[in-house]
Amino acid sequence: MEYAARERIPVTPRGAGTGLSGGCVPAAGGIVVSTERLNRIIDIDPADLIAVVEPGVITASLHSASEALGLFYPPDPGSCAFCTLGGNIAENAGGLRGLKYGVTRDYVMALDVVLPDGRTFQAGSRTRKNVTGYDMARLFTGSEGTLGFITGAVLKLIVLPEAKAGFLAAFDTLEAASEAVLAIIKSGITPSTLEIMDSVTLKAVASFSGRNDLDYGALLLIEVDGHEEDVARQSGKLLDALKNSGAKELRQARDAAEQEEIWTARRSALTALARISPSVILEDATVPRKEMTSMVRAIRSVAGKYGLLIGTFGHAGDGNLHPTIITDLRIEENKNKVKAAVGEIFEAALSLGGTLSGEHGIGIMKSSYMESELGAAGVEAMRAVKDAFDPQGIMNPGKIFV
Ligand SMILES: Cc1cc2nc3c(=O)[nH]c(=O)nc-3n(C[C@H](O)[C@H](O)[C@H](O)COP(=O)(O)OP(=O)(O)OC[C@H]3O[C@@H](n4cnc5c(N)ncnc54)[C@H](O)[C@@H]3O)c2cc1C
């Protein structure tokens, strides 16, 4: 970084390159720094309940290393088998367990940071409590590599839940499934996972994975966890809420293997949709949970208006939908349609009190929409933070800001 600062060369940090907003693309050329070989789990401490890691550790490796000790690192993006913890921190990644356990930010205690001029410091500490000045670890989390380079992290762990149970609930329509999400939350339980898939996504997953049991209008995939007795109690309430919401079919996973099958099917959603056509544009506009049915309707109306095939799946418990446009961008006319459709999807999310991005970040893809959510003053305030850390503008330029 010292060399890059002296020579004014742009630097783009890169984890596994699985980001969905173009964050690791070296938009202004320069140096790409890969964390591939910064891949050690340095310590897992069962007394302090922390993991000390390098940024290139694959997320699922921390899951298995923690679980082997009876501990739990909850953030689990759908890409956890191949994305890195550094990329997760830089994007403040969410995942399937966000409803109950939160997102990456909730587990970041300290970060080793290299500033754009090459100086280093530790933001945060290994302690549960720390109010020494500004919360810089939180600021760097979700900063998309635009403020500095993360070279190490102290992450919070929790104790692994004793038991869990997984369920599938089928509905005639996506609207009915999203209404059932509200009924589940109102019944007084907080599932660890509450995912939704529409019929377009289900067909794609069925053909991708060779399953013939996914022919529904929409599906909810649900997991509850905790102590044995509590899981039984939550399961009872969950089944009641689903029956009362008009679920057409209810299935409980018989064992851990079947439960894992459910999550594998969900994790393959994007890959399965991407196989249908040469281009796939995935968004992650997020709305307050109560507005999810309205958002589902808005997405359907945009699809109809532009004659586009849109598969929708996502983290329903978080109001975080992933409308995925399946098209062929080699055809010029499709580019214009997709641009207009994406703009209208964002507009709908914002008008419902939502946000442009729940978890994938702004990167290159959404920078031109920033003002629509934050206003000019909001963007200027963020720009001032960026300029304070990176006055030369060499740290991942071309991201977040146009
Ligand atoms: C199939 C699939 C499913 C996905 N599911 C989810 C999901 O459920 N939830 C979710 O949130 N995301 C999901 N994603 C998106 C993606 O996996 C996440 O954003 C992930 O956090 C990116 O990690 P990465 O290691 O690939 O980072 P990269 O893509 O390499 O980089 C992402 C950003 O982080 C910056 N960065 C990387 N490392 C560092 C570092 N050490 N210091 C500073 N900046 C750094 C880069 O510059 C870039 O801006 C999914 C992606 C795919 C392909």
**Which residue puts its alpha carbon closest to atom 11 of ligand 1?**
93
Model pLDDT for residues 96-145, shown as the tens digit of each residue: 999 999 999 999 999 999 999 999 999 999 999 999 999 999 999 999 99
Average pLDDT taken over every residue of the chain: 96
Domains with residue ranges and CATH for the chain: 2-159 (3.30.465.10), 163-267 (3.30.70.2190), 277-351 (3.30.70.2740)
| pLDDT exceeds cutoff 90 at 261 | no
pLDDT category, 258, cuts 50, 70, 90?
confident
| Average pLDDT estimate for 250-273 | 89
Ligand 1 touching residue 269 (CB < 6 A): no
Residue 269 CA: which ligand 1 atom is closest?
1
- Determine the Cα–Cα distance for residues 193 and 238; give it in Å rounded to an integer: 12
| pLDDT exceeds cutoff 90 at 26 | yes
Q: What is the pTM of this model?
A: 0.96
Residue 270 CA: which ligand 1 atom is closest?
1
Please report where in the chains the tokens 């071309």 appear, as a residue: 398
Model pLDDT for residues 56-68, shown as the tens digit of each residue: 999 999 999 999 9
- Determine the Cα–Cα distance for residues 250 and 220; give it in Å rounded to an integer: 10
Ligand 1 touching residue 58 (CB < 6 A): no
For residue 213, the model assigns a pLDDT of 83
Q: Which of 11, 20, 31 for mutating ligand 1's site (highest number of atoms within 8 Å of CB)? A: 20
Residue type, 97: R
For residue 335, report the distance from its CA to the centre of ligand 1, in Å: 25
For residue 271, the model assigns a pLDDT of 92
Please list, in sequence order, all residues whose beta carbon lies within 8 angstroms of the beta carbon of residue 262, skipping any fewer than 6 positions away: 166, 168, 221, 253
Please list, in sequence order, all residues whose beta carbon lies within 8 angstroms of the beta carbon of residue 168, skipping any fewer than 6 positions away: 219, 220, 221, 222, 249, 250, 251, 253, 262
- Determine the Cα–Cα distance for residues 248 and 365; give it in Å rounded to an integer: 38
- Determine the Cα–Cα distance for residues 100 and 121; give it in Å rounded to an integer: 32
Ligand 1 touching residue 17 (CB < 6 A): yes
Residues 354, 295 contacting (CB under 8 angstroms): yes
Ligand 1 touching residue 93 (CB < 6 A): yes
Ligand 1 touching residue 94 (CB < 6 A): yes
| pLDDT exceeds cutoff 90 at 257 | no
Model pLDDT for residues 265-308, shown as the tens digit of each residue: 888 999 999 999 999 999 998 999 999 999 999 999 999 999 99
Model pLDDT for residues 308-341, shown as the tens digit of each residue: 999 999 999 999 999 999 999 999 999 999 999 9
